[in-house]
Chains A and B, each alone.
Chain A
Amino acid sequence: DAGVIQSPRHEVTEMGQEVTLRCKPISGHNSLFWYRQTMMRGLELLIYFNNNVPIDDSGMPEDRFSAKMPNASFSTLKIQPSEPRDSAVYFCASSSRLAGVGNEQFFGPGTRLTVL
């Protein structure tokens, strides 16, 4: 099992540019989470999908952030336009049971985003 796959692992971009982060969850998992980790704010849940449907996007910081899950094996998190304060490590995680209740989350290796 390859685990959760994220790409790119590192991204350096300039303010105003569009950034797209990608995630492939573990096969068979039906819940997918996007998190952002910073020193100041810790690990924050941005959005949660269940069976490819966005259930809770209340953690998405603002309209510049959007996420999609077109099928069970792929999700994207897009930032447009990016700003320096978006610099962080973005993690994707997946879990296997209905609505992800009470199940361990398997985290991907993360994407370290730097916006100059």
Chain B
Amino acid sequence: GQQVMQIPQYQHVQEGEDFTTYCNSSTTLSNIQWYKQRPGGHPVFLIQLVKSGEVKKQKRLTFQFGEAKKNSSLHITATQTTDVGTYFCAGSSGTYKYIFGTGTRLKVLA
């Protein structure tokens, strides 16, 4: 079945450093979503990417969807302590079902 993997599993950065998490699907996706889950919290939607090669920005966050629509990345510039949490990608092949990635847990050291 469809699998969505993320790397790295964990990342510790100093405040102010950049951070990137990568998402890879075993199958071609129709669209991909990104979520953030704070420690002890629930996943919160960040963004959705639909088009091949699409790039979207939200302040310090940059999201990319690969040309082949099988991978995606999230890049955070100049991390802050408020960025702490686990970032999940969730891929869909065009139906209601989103397969969540394994997540990347980010820790920001002040």
Closest-by-CB residue of B relative to A56 is B97
User: Known: A42-B100, A42-B102. Contact between A99 and B95, CB under 8 A?
Assistant: yes
CB distance from B27 to the nearest CB of A (A): 16
Docked Cα-Cα span, A93 to B50, in Å, equals 21
The interface residues of chain B lying within 8 Å CB-to-CB of A48 are 96-97
Q: Closest residue of chain B to A44, judged by CB?
A: B100
Contact call B94/A43, Cβ cutoff below 8 A:
no
In whole Å, how far is B10's beta carbon from the nearest beta carbon of chain A?
12
Answer yes or no: A60 CB below 8 A from chain B CBs: no
Given known A101-B92, A102-B31, A102-B92, contact A45–B44 (CB-CB < 8 A): no
A42 to B101, CA, bound (A): 8
Q: Are A104 and B48 in contact (CB under 8 A)?
A: yes
Cα A43 to Cα B92 in complex, Å, equals 15
Query: A40-54 vs B: 1/0 string, CB under 8 Å?
Result: 001111001010000
Please tell me if the beta carbons of B45 and A106 are within 8 angstroms of each other in the complex. yes
- Given the complex of chains A and B, what is the CA–CA distance between A110 and B42 in angstroms? 7
A/B interface sample: 7 pairs, CB < 8 A: A31-B96, A42-B102, A45-B97, A45-B100, A91-B43, A101-B95, A101-B96
Q: Would B100 and A102 count as touching, CB distance under 8 A?
A: no
Name A42's contact: one of B44, B48, B94, B103 (CB within 8 Å): B103
Q: Write the chain A residue with the least CB distance to B94.
A: A101
A108 touches B42 (CB 8 A): yes
Q: Closest chain A residue to B41 by CB distance?
A: A109
Q: How far is the CA of A45 from the CA of B4 in the complex (A)?
A: 13
Q: Given A105-B45, A106-B45, A108-B42, are A99 and B33 also a contact pair (CB < 8 Å)? A: no
